[in-house]
Structure 1
Amino acid sequence: MKKLIAGVVLGVGLTAMAHGAGDPEAGEANAQVCAGCHGAGGAEPIAANYPKLSGLGEKYLHQQLRLIKSQDRMIASMTGLLDNSSDQDLQDLAAYFNEQSMPIGQADPELVDQGRALYRGGNMASGVPACAGCHSPNGSGIEAAGYPRLSGQNAEYVAKQLTEYRDGERDAGQNASIMMDVAAKLTDQEIKAVASYVSGLN
C-alpha cells in the first residue's frame, strides 16, 4: 500500500512538473506579434539595441516576461503587449523561443583580448568576477539557475543592459542584485569590450 501511495504521489508530482513546462507549439502560435521587433524566431531583431530571444533559456525568458507583464521591469515598447497573456502563455512563449537557434555575431577584433580577459577571468583589481562563472565558459548560460545565454547576443543590447544595471535602472528579478553589484565595478570601456566579446562567442 505504501508503494502504491508513493507511486501515486510521484506520478502526480511528475504530471505537475510536466504541466508547468512550456509548450513550444502553443508558444509559436502566440509569437507572431513578437516578430515585428525581434524577428522570426526571435533571432534577428530589427535594431541592435533589441535582444535576440532565441535560445536564451526557458526559465530566464519566462521570468523576464513575467517581470515585463507586471511592469516590475519597464520596457516602454512592450507596454500592454502581454496584458492578456496568462502565465502559461508566457511559459509557452519562453519554451518556443528557447528552442530557436541563436545566430552568432562578430566581435570587434580590437576588443577581443580585453573582452575575453574579463569574461573568463574578471578583473581582480576592481573585484569584477568572471562572467563565465554564471554564464558558462562558452556563453550558453545555466538553465537551471535562470542564467541566460550570452553567446551571440547583440553587443549593443548587452552594453545597454550592463549600463542599466550599473546605473540602477534595471533592478527587477531574482538575479538583479548580483548583476547590479557586478556592473557597478565595470568601466564604460570594459562594458564595451565584454559586450562585443560575447556577441561573437561560440
Structure 2
Amino acid sequence: MLKKLLIIVGAAVLFSNNAHAAGDAEAGKAKSAVCAACHGVEGISALPMNPNLAGQVPGYIAAQLAAFKSGERANAIMTAQVAGLSDEDMADLDAYYSSLVPNVEAKLTDEEAEWAKAGEAIYRGGYAERGISACMSCHGPAGHGIPKNYPRVSAQHRQYLESSLLAYKKGERVGYNGIMSTIAFGLSEQQIKELAAYMAGLN
C-alpha cells in the first residue's frame, strides 16, 4: 500500500514540475513590483516570517490571493494588497512566481538541525499516536507540493513554516477542509518546530 502511495505521489510531483499556471508570467512580473517589499524581487523574501513565492506550485498563489480577497484568509496587509486585483492579475502573478527558481539553501543553526532530524520522522512517517498521516503524502517526498492545493513546503523559511503550522493549530488559519487544522492541532509546539526545520531543509 505504501509503495502504491509513493508511486502516486511521485507521479503527481512529476506533473507539478511540468505544470504551468494559466496566467501570463511576463505580465505577472510587471505586476509584482509591489510584492517585492515583503517577498523579494524574485520571490525570495529576506524576512524569515514572510513566505518565499519563487517556485511555488502553479495555481496555489492565485488561490491564496483569492482567499485573501474573499476573507477566507485574514491578514490586514494582504487584504489591502489584493483589494484591487482582478482574477487575471492573480493568475499572472501566479504564473510569474511559479516560473521562478526556488531558494533551496536553508540556513539552520545546530539546534535547528537537531530538530530537523526529529521532524523527518513525522514528515515521512506521520504520527500514528494522533492519527496523523505522513506530510509527504500531500506535499511530496521532497516537499515540492502538488498543484494546486498542496503547496511547496521546501525552499521556505523555517520561521514562516512554523508560524503557519501554529496558526493552523490555534485556529487562526483555515482551509483544506480542516485537514491542516486537524493535523497541526495534533502536534505539540516542539513537534511543529521540528517539522518546520525539516521541511525548510528539503530541496
Q: TM-score range by the shorter chain?
A: 0.7 to 0.9
Larger radius of gyration: 1
Give the match for residue 181 of structure 1.
182
Q: Which of these residues, 104, 117, 123, is aligned with residue 121 of structure 2? A: 117
Report if aligned partners of 1:167, 1:184 keep a CA contact under 8 Å in 2: yes
Is 1:29 matched with 2:30? yes
Report if aligned partners of 1:140, 1:149 keep a CA contact under 8 Å in 2: yes
Deviation at 1:133, TM superposition (A): 0.4
List aligned pairs for 1:79-158, cutoff 5 A. 79-104=79-104, 105-107=106-108, 108-143=112-147, 145-158=148-161
Deviation at 1:118, TM superposition (A): 0.8
Report if aligned partners of 2:168, 2:180 keep a CA contact under 8 Å in 1: yes
- Structure 1, unmatched stretches of 5+, are 1-19
Tell me how far apart the structure 2 counterparts of residues 137 and 122 of structure 1 sit (CA, whole Å). 13
- Structure 2, unmatched stretches of 5+, are 1-20
Tell me how far apart the structure 2 counterparts of residues 111 and 134 of structure 1 sit (CA, whole Å). 22
Deviation at 1:176, TM superposition (A): 4.8
Report if aligned partners of 1:58, 1:91 keep a CA contact under 8 Å in 2: no
How many residues get paired?
179
Deviation at 1:68, TM superposition (A): 1.1
Secondary structure of 2:102's match? coil
CA deviations on 1:93-131 (whole Å, 9 max, x unpaired) are 011001111112134221122011111001111222110
Give the match for residue 41 of structure 2.
40
Give the match for residue 5 of structure 1.
none
Tell me how far apart the structure 2 counterparts of residues 70 and 127 of structure 1 sit (CA, whole Å). 32
Secondary structure of 1:109's match? helix
Give the match for residue 164 of structure 1.
167
Under a length normalisation based on structure 2, what TM-score does the superposition of the two structures give? 0.84
State, as a whole percentage, how many aligned pairs show the same letter. 41
Under a length normalisation based on structure 1, what TM-score does the superposition of the two structures give? 0.84
The change in CA–CA distance for 1:72 and 1:47 in structure 2 (over 3 A counts) is same
Structure 1: 4+ residue segments shifted above 4 A: none
